[in-house]
Amino acid sequence: MSQKLPLMRILVLVLLFTTGSNTYGQNAQKKRETTYQTTLKTYSDVLKPGMTRKNVEDYLRSKSISFGQGGWINEKSALADLVYIGKEKHPWYCEKHNVFIAFQFAAVESHKPWEAYDSDALKIISIFHRLDGCL
């Protein structure tokens, strides 16, 4: 009986630890997702569909917000602008899981999809998850 009691305590402690760790991870994820949604709303309140790329990028520069162009999100019309807002746990086969606010544009003038023109029109602002360095 005395050997079963310490073993039982260890099992209970392991169960509490793993349950607590999982709950902590879920709470941290919810907080990050709330932050992402709040950031998205902040941009969406100011930058509206139909605005030109020039206006969007001028706004970002005026706020000293770093951004880059990161390919296409949903369609190959014009490059998207990406603002880094966080990172998530990545799967073992990737080096990174970055989170961005993606400003998706549509080409107004005829140009190649890998080019970005000042006249491109903002279509959608969204949260974009990107895995990098994957096997």
pLDDT tens across 18-48, in order?
544 455 567 888 899 999 999 999 999 999 9
Distance CA 77, CA 113 (A): 5
Q: How far apart are CA 93 and CA 120, in angstroms?
A: 35
pLDDT, tens digit only, all 135 positions of the chain? 445 556 656 655 555 555 444 555 678 888 999 999 999 999 999 999 999 999 999 999 999 999 998 877 766 678 999 999 999 999 999 999 999 999 999 989 888 777 889 999 999 999 999 999 999
Rg (CA), the chain: 22
- Strand, coil or helix: what is 103? strand
Token pair recorded at residue 27: 């709470």
Question: What is the rounded distance in angstroms from the CA atom of residue 93 to the CA atom of residue 12?
Answer: 33
Given a contact cutoff of 8 angstroms between Cβ atoms, the answer to whether 83 and 67 are in contact is yes
